[in-house]
Amino acid sequence: MKALVIAAALIAFSGQAAPTAALPHVLHLVYQFGYNTKVASSGQGTGTTTIDVYGPADDGGWIVTGQDFWWNTVRPRAANTCEVYAGSVSCKAAPYAISPIQLTVFPLLAAGYFKGLAANPSQAWTRDFSVYAAILPGAGGMAGQPTTWNFSYDFVGKGPIPKSAPPLILVSGNGTLEQDGGFALQAKSKQRIAYDPANKVPAFVSDVRTHVPARSVYNNDLIEVKLIKIQRG
């Protein structure tokens, strides 16, 4: 059944017939999250997001599926499936959406996003990419129309985190988000990432997004995620 789902996703992305063999399942991740609150195992604004990664495809992309389960809710939200590259995240499979938590995590899973950090944990680099999706408004509500957001980040490695197990590297990032189209909404983003170079995934992320111009006194969105499970294959 899962193979059929992935094959259908491939058709939606490419507009062509799916390959005879579905892409292999390479990674299963579970993150605890906090949305406008600190990450925790329970409490208002918390939950878990389960992420499955398939690929790589012939063009180097991953197919990434994520599903959020908010604390104190009866069932998880609908799964969102996107194609992830170093330069783009494209959610062209129904429901064409991405959650605020997935918006933080999915781009970080692209091949080469943290390339070279293990060899030089103090390096600086830039990362530009786009996201095509309808961004969900949190724990409830419906997504709007899909649109394109352009992201640009400057990252700096801060070196190994003392006594971390597994060994982690601290990364700080400052970036901007800008929506294409008539509304042209904008935001600034400040990220702190604990990166696991052995598994090539973020173990912890704090992402503070500040809307520009200010929309209200509640002008910041905080997303925190903490990896609690990783399984390969």
Average pLDDT over residues 3-24: 45
Report residue 182's pLDDT band, with 50, 70 and 90 as the boundaries: low
* The token pair that represents 28 in the structure block: 């299963």
Q: In Å, what is the CA distance from 233 to each residue of 4, 13, 53, 145, 159?
A: 18, 23, 9, 34, 30
Are 29 and 201 in contact, with CB atoms under 8 Å apart?
Answer: yes
Q: What is the mean pLDDT of residues 97-120?
A: 94
Q: Domain total for the chain? A: 1
Is pLDDT at 105 greater than 70 in this prediction?
yes
Tokens of 79: 């799964």
Residue 85: pLDDT over 70: yes
72, HSE (Cβ side, Cα atoms, 13 Å): 7
Expressed as residue numbers, the domain containing 149 is 2-232
Residue type, 7: A
Contacts of 213 (CB under 8 A, 6+ apart): none
Backbone angles phi, psi at 8, to 5 degrees: -65, -40
Q: 95 by DSSP, 3-state: which?
A: coil
Pairing outcome for strands 80-84 and 88-90: antiparallel
Q: For the segment 49-78, what is each residue's pLDDT rounded down to a tens digit? A: 999 999 998 888 999 999 999 999 999 999
User: Which pLDDT does position 10 carry in this prediction?
Assistant: 40
Sign of CA dihedral 47, 55, 82, 129: positive
- Whole-model pTM above 0.75? yes
CA distance linking residue 67 with residue 101, whole number of Å: 10
The DSSP result for 10-52, as a single string, is: HHHHHSSPPPSSPPPEEEEEEEEEEESS---SSSTTEEEEEEE
Q: Which of 39, 29, 37, 116 is nearest to 64 (CA)?
A: 29
Dig out the tokens for 64 from the structure. 């990434």
Q: Is residue 161 predicted with pLDDT exceeding 80?
A: yes
- Alpha-carbon distance values, 31 to 39, 98, 100, 153 (Å): 10, 16, 13, 23
Mean pLDDT across the chain: 88
